[in-house]
Structure 1
Amino acid sequence: MTAVTTASVPVAESSSRVRPSEVLRIVRLHTVNPAIFFGVPWLILAGAWAVTMVIALIIAGAVGPLSETETGFEYSWAVLSPQWYLIVVGVQAISYTFPFALGFGATRRDYWLGTGLMFALVSVVNAAAIATLLLIERATNGWWIGAGMFDALWYVGADWGTAFFSTFALQLLVLFIGAGVTTVYMRWRMRGMMTVLFGAIALILAIIALLTFTESWESLGAWLASIGVAGVFTLVLAKAVAWAVAGFLVIRRATPR
């Protein structure tokens, strides 16, 4: 009886420790189908770029060459086209790999750390690429035709570091939102999903009501302007960390489908 009890202790201890080899094994598991993380998002971005160029050529053909001061493209949301799909990527990353990871002996802790590391790597690569394309677009005066796709929204006037950080924070957030929502479904199924959905709607409406009745919209806008792009996306990064922590707490008791 004593031998059985003693032998069971190392198992419990090993499952409570982070195992770097298992974390990296989870990263390799996610890269089995790299198209999910790198293929489809960049196809979407390439398609948005092609549409933007065609629109620019049509405008140039109708009204003449686009000037360097053309500001219409600064309000294009095309640069964010892959972000919405990355929520789906976060969903697929968990739903496709979680059962397999548990099957070959990974702990939930190792699995979530490996998934988080994969999300961070994807966000770093994509952010570096988009920030570099922003500089290329500026250097070529809008791809030699005066068009703008990457130099839009808050990217206007931003340097490489700011563009990289803001893209990294945003991509990490949407990936963890997708992953977090999936853990909720695995843990509580549709009841949990509906609770999260209606809870989020109620929270958003409460915040809108609070800001409206206290006439705080102008103050909020002034505060966001005072902290700048870096400050705003630091808050975005904090939200990504909060989603990551919440997802881990839920997945500890989640059951794969």
Structure 2
Amino acid sequence: MNAVTASGPAPAAPAAPERRVRPGEIWRIIRLHTVNPGVFFIVPWVIMAGAWAISVVLVLIIGAAGAPVEKVTVGMQYSWAVLSPQWYLVVVGVQAIAFTFQFALGFGATRRDYWLGTWLMFLFVSIVNAIAIATLVMIERATDHWWVGAAMFDALWYVGADWITAAYTTFALQLFVLTVGAAATTVYMRWRMPGMLVLGASAAALVLGAIALLTFTESWGAFAEWFAAVGLNGGFTILVVLALAFGVFGYSVIRRATPR
């Protein structure tokens, strides 16, 4: 009798630990989101192009009426036209989860892979749009606002900003709105309408509580000074941090969400 027979069957080799992050599956999720590229890349720029065309036509009309072009340009730098696609990007964040989550789980993706792939897609979209918008800001300045004085991109905080600042602030804002839309959708997918009502009430209570705190403690001046000290890039860095926080929150919710 040999040693193996005497001691019984050899113990089975321990199973290899499951990989927590699967790059191949994450890439599949990214490709899933690009099946309909118009949602991320075409519709926002159609909105942007429409806002640009309206801005140019308005300047031409006002100029034809005899108004000084210089004053029109300065006035348009307070326009929010450059932010016109941001409201749609919140919807994009909602659609990215609502339309693909169930399908992704159906072909074997884990919730971790799905959320990482989705968030990386948001990251990519934010980077591409940031590069494009920052470049358009520079082109608008170089052409003296499209040769007619129409200040659409060179507006709000972009006025006087260099290319890097314009790109970074755009990236931060776009990543924030996409992640907020996606995180809110995870709440709906897990708790449905009661969850959304609680989320909305909690957000309103938080905002009103902050306003009340600043008002009753007479801290609005200190808050303004703090915000000025943080600066433009610092303020948008806060948005990046909030985007990361909402990303973590969304993942914690979607881990237990059941597609229906």
Report what 1:28 is aligned to: 31
Q: Note the C-alpha offset of 1:220.
A: 1.1
1:100 CA drift (Å) = 0.9
Amino acid in structure 1 at the alignment position of 2:105: L
Displacement over 4 Å in runs of 4+: 6-10
Aligned length: 251
- Equivalent residue, structure 2, for 1:140: 143
**Residue pairs, 1:224-239, within 5 angstroms:** 224-239=227-242
Aligned partners of 1:127 and 1:167 also within 8 Å: yes
The residue correspondences of 1:1-257 to structure 2 (distance < 5 A) are 10=16, 13-14=17-18, 17-64=20-67, 66-67=69-70, 70-257=73-260
Q: Is the 8 Å Cα contact of residues 68 and 146 (structure 1) preserved in structure 2?
A: no
The answer on whether the counterparts of 1:68 and 1:141 sit within 8 Å (CA) in structure 2 is: no
With the length of structure 2 as denominator, give the TM-score of the two structures: 0.93
1:51 is displaced (CA, Å) by 0.7
Find the residue that maps to 1:149 and give its secondary structure.
Answer: coil
CA distance in 2, matches of 1:152, 1:215: 32
1:71 positional shift? 1.2
Shift of 1:8: 10
Residue 69 of structure 1, CA deviation: 8.5
Offset from partner CA, 1:87-110 (integer Å, 9 cap, x none)? 000000001111111001001001
Q: Which runs of 5+ in 1 are unaligned?
A: 1-5
CA distance in 1, matches of 2:53, 2:46: 10
Deviation at 1:216, TM superposition (A): 1.1
Is the alpha carbon distance of 1:51 and 1:160 closer, same or farther for their aligned partners in structure 2, counting shifts above 3 Å? same
| Partners of 2:65 and 2:171 in 1: CA distance | 38
Question: 2:176 is aligned with what amino acid?
Answer: L
| Distance in 2, Cα, partners of 1:233 & 1:8 | 48
Q: Secondary structure at the match of 2:100?
A: helix
CA change 1:8–1:112 in 2 (3 A) is: farther
Question: After superposition, what is the alpha-carbon deviation per residue over 1:148-200, rounded to whole angstroms, capped at 9, x for unaligned?
Answer: 00111111110010011100010001001110011001111111000000000
Question: How high is the TM-score relative to the length of structure 1?
Answer: 0.94
- 1:7 Cα offset (Å): 9.7
Q: Which residue of 2 aligns with 1:3?
A: none
Whole-Å Cα distance in 2 between the matches of residues 99 and 128 of structure 1?
32
Unpaired runs of at least 5, structure 2 = 1-11
Distance in 2, Cα, partners of 1:188 & 1:9 = 36
Contact 2:59/2:72 (<8 A) preserved: no
Identity %: 64
